[in-house]
Amino acid sequence: MNFLAIRAIYRFELARWFRTLVQSIISPVISTSLYFVVFGSAIGSRMSAIDGVSYGAFIVPGLMMLAILTESISNASFGIYIPKWTGTIYQVLSAPVSAFEVVTGYVGAAATKSICLGVIILATARVFVPYEIAHPIWTIAFLVLTSVTFSLFGFIIGIWADGFEKLQIVPILVITPLTFLGGSFYSISMLPPIWQKITLFNPVVYLVNGFRWSFYGISDVSVGTSLGMTLLFFFVCLGIVWWIFRTGYKLKQ
Amino acid sequence: MKPIISIQNLTKTYATGVHALKPINLEIHAGEIFALLGPNGAGKTTLISIICGVVNPSGGVVKVDGNDIIRDYRASRTKIGLVPQELATDTFETVWATVQFSRGLFGKPDNPAHLEKVLRDLSLWEKKDAKIQTLSGGMKRRVMIAKALSHEPKILFLDEPTAGVDVTLRREMWAMVRTLREAGVTIILTTHYIEEAEEMADRIGVISKGELILVEEKSALMTKLGKKQLTLQLQSPLDAIPESLAPYKLELADKGQALVYTFDTQATETGIAALLKRLNELGIDFKDLQTRQSSLEDIFVSLVSNPS
C-alpha cells in the first residue's frame, strides 16, 4: 500500500480547498443560513410542528443533506476533472499507485470537506433554531456514509465529464430537484397518497429520512431501509469506479 | 549487459482503429542517452506513454529493470520519471507544492534537501514559492523536469523536452541531461531537433509509421549512412556535364557555377584524386573547393522518406 501517495493526493486536494474557502464553505453556509431565516424563522414560525418537532428544527437534517450532497459531488468531480482538463493527470497515471489509493486520496479529501461543511452548517443552524440529536453515533454514521458515497458519485461524474458544463449538470438538474422533492422541507406523509408512492422512487428520501431519524427519532421510512438504500448506492458507485479503473474509461487509452 | 528497459513485440491499436505501434522490439541500456527520432504521428509519444503507464498496450511485453510494467507496475513506475511533451502544470499551485506532491505520489517520504537541490540545479529555487501560473513557458518546462526528478528516478523520459524553449535554456537543459547521465540516470528523449540528438545521444532509434526502422550507435550511424560531398566552384560556368565525367555521377549546381561530387567515406577509394585529374585533362578549372559531411538530419530525412 502506497500510503504516502494517498497522503500526497489528500493533502494536495485539501490545499485546493483552502484556496477556494469562500466558494467551498462560506457560500454554502450563507445559502443554508438564508434557508433557515426564510423557512425556519420567518415562514416556519407560522407553521405547526411535524411529529412534535418544530418546523425550523425539522428542516435542519434536510438542509444539511442538501449541502452535503451537492458539495460532495462538486468537490470530488472537480478534484479529478481539473487534472484531466489541465493534462496533469499523467502524474497520477504514471505513478506507482493503485486504483484504490487514487480513489482513497481524491474521495477521502472530498468527503472530509463535506463532513467539515456539514458540521459547520450544524453549528450555524443552532444560531437560528434549537434542536437536539437523539442518536449522535448514527448522525455521524449517516454523515460519513453519505459524504463518502456522494464523493464517489462525484468522482464518477468528474471522470465522465468532458467539459465544465457536464460537471454542473448532475448537481443542478438531478441532485437539487431530488433533494427538494425528497422530503427536506416536509414529511412525505403530508403529500397526497399517489405522490407518497411516487416519492419512494426518489433515493434522497431515504438519505434525508435516515438522517432525520438520527436527530429526532422520526422518519417516513424505516431507518433500516434508509441505511440499506444508502449502502446500496455506495456499492453501486464503488462498482462503477472499479469498472472505470479496470477499463481505463476516459482515463487511459 | 542486462537492459534497463526491454520491449518485446509491443503493439498499440487505438479504439479509433489507428495502429500507432506495429510490433516494436527494443532494448535500452542502463546509463545511456537514447534519442528516439520520428516525424509527427510516428508513435514516439505512444511508445513512451505505454512504458510509463499512461497508455495501455495492445500487445507485447515491456520490462523496466526486470519488472513487467503491467504485473509489477509499482516496481517499474517507481524507477521512471516522465516529462511529457505538453506543458501540463498545476497552474494554481506553488513550485514547491507541486514538486512535493510529485515526490509523495511516487511513495517517497518528504526530503526537502533533495527537492532544494533539484530546484537549484534547474535555477528554480528563487521561484519555489511562486505560483506556476506566474512563470514563463521555459520556467514551466523546468518545473515539469523538477517534478519528474523529485522522486530520484533511475530512468528519465523526456518527450520533446526543448520544444518551444529558447536557445539558452535548451543548452542549459542539455548540460543538465549530461549531468544526470553522469549520475547514472538512463535518459530516453524524443525530439524534433535533430541537432539535439546529434549533440547528446549515445544511440539513436528512428521510428516511422509505428515501426522502429533503425537503432544504431550515433557514431556508427553517422559513419555508416553519412555521406560526404565535394563542391568545386568553377572558374567558368558549364552548360552541361561532359560525357566523360558520367562515371562520377556529378551534379551541376549554382547555375552551372559549381560541380558537386558525392562520395562514400567508407570506400577504399573516394575517387577524388581521379576526378580532379580528369577535370584538369578536360581543362575545367576551379577556383575553390569545399567538403561537407551529411548531418544526422540528412540521414533522418533519407531514412524516413525511404525506409528500405
pLDDT digit of tens for each residue in chain B (308 aa)? Answer: 678 999 999 999 988 888 889 899 999 999 899 999 888 888 888 999 999 999 999 999 999 999 999 999 999 999 999 999 888 888 888 999 999 999 999 999 989 999 999 898 888 898 989 899 898 888 888 899 999 999 999 999 998 887 777 777 778 888 888 888 888 899 999 876 777 777 788 898 888 888 888 888 877 776 666 667 888 899 888 888 888 888 888 888 888 889 888 877 666 677 888 888 888 888 888 888 888 766 666 666 666 666 55
- Tell me, yes or no, whether B233 lies in a domain: yes
- Digits of tens for pLDDT over chain A (253 positions)? 888 999 999 999 898 888 877 777 888 888 888 888 887 777 777 777 777 788 888 888 888 888 898 889 988 998 999 999 988 899 999 999 999 999 999 999 999 999 998 998 888 888 888 888 889 999 999 999 999 999 999 999 999 988 888 888 888 888 888 888 888 888 888 888 888 888 888 888 888 888 889 988 888 888 898 899 889 999 999 999 999 998 888 888 8
| CB A91, CB A135: distance < 8 Å | no
Judge: B82–A15 Cβ closer than 8 Å, yes or no: no
d(CA A15, CA A167): 21
Residue A253 forms part of a structural domain = no
Q: Which of B223, B255, B285 is the last residue of a domain?
A: B223
Distance CA A205, CA A184 (A): 8
List the single residue in B84, B91, B104 with the smallest CB-CB distance to A4. Answer: B104
Q: Which amino acid is at B215?
A: V
> Which chain B residues have a beta carbon less than 8 Å from that of A18?
none
Kindly report the CATH number assigned to the domain that includes residue B266.
Answer: 3.30.70
Question: What is the domain count for chain B?
Answer: 2
Count CB pairs under 8 A between chains A and B.
76
Q: What is the pLDDT of residue B1?
A: 63
Compute the nearest-CA separation of A80 from chain B (Å).
Answer: 13
* Whole-structure pTM value: 0.80
A91 and B147: CB-CB below 8 Å? yes
Q: Judge if B172 and B260 occupy the same domain.
A: no
Which positions ≥6 away from A234 have C-beta within 8 Å? Answer: A145, A148, A149, A152
Same domain, B173 and B189: yes
DSSP three-state, residue A83: helix
Whether residues B251 and B151 fall in one domain: no
DSSP label of A26:
I
Q: Would you state the cell numbers that stand for residue B308, as one nine-digit string? A: 528500405
pLDDT score, position B106: 92
User: Which of B167, B197, B223 corresponds to the end of one domain?
Assistant: B223
Domain range for B167: 5-223
* Alpha carbon of A95: minimum distance to chain B alpha carbons (Å): 6
Restricting to A residues 193-252, those with a Cβ less than 8 Å away from any Cβ of B are: 248, 252
User: Are B109 and A87 in contact (CB < 8 Å)?
Assistant: no
- What pLDDT does B294 receive? 63
- Closest residue, chain B, to A252 (C-alpha): B55
Q: What is the chain A residue with the closest CA to B52? A: A94
Residue A110's pLDDT is: 93
Q: Does B300 map to a domain?
A: no
For residue B307, is it within any domain? no
- Cβ separation A95–B14 shorter than 8 A: no
CB < 8 Å to A4, chain B:
104, 107-109
pLDDT of residue A179: 83
Query: What span, in angstroms and rounded, lies between the C-alpha atoms of B300 and B37?
Result: 8
Among candidate residues B192, B223, B254, the one where a domain is terminated = B223
Q: Are residues B139 and B264 in the same domain?
A: no
Residue B302 inside a domain? The answer is no
On whether residue B308 sits in a domain, the answer given is no
Q: What whole-number distance in Å separates Cα of residue A232 and Cα of residue A250?
A: 25
For residue A245, the chain B residues in CB contact (below 8 A) are none
Residues B177 and B257 in one domain: no
- Report yes or no on A252 lying in a domain: no
Name the residue facing B108 among A4, A86, A97 (closest C-beta): A4
Task: List the domain range (segments joined by +) for residue A203.
Answer: 3-247
- Tell me, yes or no, whether B305 lies in a domain: no
Contact A175/B at CB under 8 A: no
Q: Identify the helix (H) or strand (E) that includes residue B188.
A: strand B186-191
**Sign of the four-CA dihedral B179, B181, B182, B185:** positive
The pLDDT, as a whole number, for residue A67 is 87
Count of the separate structural domains present in chain A: 1
A188 assigned to some structural domain? yes
